[in-house]
Amino acid sequence: MRQVLDIKRLNSKTIYFVITGLFFIFIVTFFTLFISANPVSSLTYLLAFLLFSICSIPILIHVRIKTFDLLEPIYIVLVLYFLYFGIRTVFILLSPPYISTAPNLDTVSDMNIINLALLYTIVGIIFMIIGYYSRLPAVICKVIPRIKFIWNERKAIKRIYILYFIGLFIRLFIIQQGLLVRFGVRKVPVVLVNIMQIFAQIPLYAYALYAVYFFSVKGRRPSIILGLIILFSEVGFAFMSGWKGNFIILMFILLIAYHYGLHKIRIRSVLIPLIVVLLIVFPLVNTYRYIYPILVQKENVSILNVRGFFRVTAAVLERMKEYSLMEYIAFSFGGFINRFAGIDSLSVTIKRTPEAMNFQYGRTISWLFLWPIPRVIFPNKPNLSFGGVFGVKYWGWPEEPWHGSAAITQIGEFYLNFHLIGIILGMFLSGIIYRLTYLYFIKKGIVDKRISVFLYSFAFVHLLRIESNIAMAYAGLLQAVLFGLVIAWFLNVRIRWR
């Protein structure tokens, strides 16, 4: 009997378009159902779907023409923008009474503001994509001198171990000064804080070098036991810091080292670590943030000693056992989605500018150029982090006690400085920077692949900081790359400019 459908005769093009078509039919149906259930919010759902479509286009095109590199910045950045602005918007609409993390934003009466923020985001992403695929990144990349690294195979791995354990002792000393860990009491002057925080990153650089070396070496691999010690030590520090971003950095460094050193990873391979982050890491860290101050108050526990660390860990696990399965899933998903409050920040920025602050006309962005100046020389240098000011001015936080930082998002800061024209130009330039970074470190700029991957892993994680203000994100990127060059010198990697 003749088969109704001969799968072997279907070429890859047919399969691709069938799967893509079915996927878009599913998404259209999904949004149509919610629009019919919430007719008042139909425009908002439509804009969210348009945002999804625009973010999907570059990914689908490159998958089709087989030039898709999963760890090329544009794809991850587009996914983040959809999470921060698209998924977050749908979550707000489906969570009566439209809960928002921005106290000065009423997501019922301010729905027009949210729609405008979505529209501005769509415009910004279009120009970011245009900048990314323009000829400018390639032209600029040709102008920047190439770096020729010469990696000393004999000395590298031993110096990586030395570097890690020296850095570990430095980090422990800095932690004792009240830095790096959540709820620490600072014991050092502000002038020394930045310097100490830079040196505290030495173990992370050694971790990245070990990962790159492990996955790229063609002969005998370095010790797996020492590698696991380094990995678990970094995971422990990430937990103590109380910052979920540290876990993301560890994950991406490992993925980048494997992807460019050993074997190209596929999307489904990334889903497992992402699920681990969502269902395990986020709940653990959020519970730690909640439980640790209580233990400090009741039992005078300190996480800075071994006994205190295990006491806090046990208390966190006990707390998590109290959740039912549905409570645990809700807690995990809620903590995850509330982390991506980009639409909240941009909406409240649009709503309260110039009431809360006048348009800055480049002032906050110009702080980036003050970054190289030491605070000893310029004591009144503004804090590169704008999050504290944004939290007070826009989210209504009290100045005292300090509540932490609120994420303005880069697109929000572009608006705060130059209105819509700031979003257009700023996102266009951002696209150029994303592409230039990828071309220079992965494609054209550095001769030794291992060092290029090492430096790219740090540049990459800073490019993903779309929720941070511009000066902080790009100062961090420049600092990370320059410090990486110093580390390369320590490893006896000779550098030649060509």
For 183-192, the pLDDT digits (tens) are 555 555 656 6
477-492 burial, b if ≥16 CB within 10 A, otherwise e?
Answer: bebbbebbeebbeebe
Supply the pLDDT for residue 445: 62
Q: How many alpha carbons fall within 13 Å on the CB side of residue 184?
A: 21
Domain limits for position 443 = 141-345+393-497
Classify burial at 166, counting beta carbons within 10 Å of its beta carbon; exposed 0-12, middle 13-18, buried 19 or more: middle
Do the domain assignments include residue 136?
A: no
CA distances from 72 to 58, 427, 457, 459, 492 (A): 11, 17, 11, 12, 29
Do the domain assignments include residue 94?
A: no
Do the domain assignments include residue 88?
A: no
Supply the pLDDT for residue 15: 46
User: What total of structural domains would you count in the chain?
Assistant: 1
Angle at 481 between CA 476 and CA 486, to 5 degrees: 120
Q: Token pair for residue 495? A: 């550098």
Do the domain assignments include residue 117?
A: no
Do the domain assignments include residue 417?
A: yes
φ, ψ of residue 100 in degrees (nearest 5): -135, 150
Classify burial at 226, counting beta carbons within 10 Å of its beta carbon; exposed 0-12, middle 13-18, buried 19 or more: middle
Q: What distance in Å separates the CA atoms of residue 211 and residue 396, rounded to the nearest whole number?
A: 43
Do the domain assignments include residue 351?
A: no
Do the domain assignments include residue 1?
A: no
Q: Token pair for residue 479? A: 């600092």
Supply the pLDDT for residue 16: 47
Do the domain assignments include residue 51?
A: no
Which residues in the chain land under pLDDT 70?
1-41, 96-104, 107-108, 150-154, 177-194, 304, 331-332, 334-335, 375-376, 379, 400-404, 445-447, 492-498
434-464 burial, b if ≥16 CB within 10 A, otherwise e?
Answer: bbbbbbbbbeebbebbbbbbbbbbbbbbbbb
Residue of 485, 494, 490, 429 lying closest to 454 (CA atoms) = 485
Query: What is the largest distance, in Å, between two alpha-carbon atoms of the chain?
Result: 86
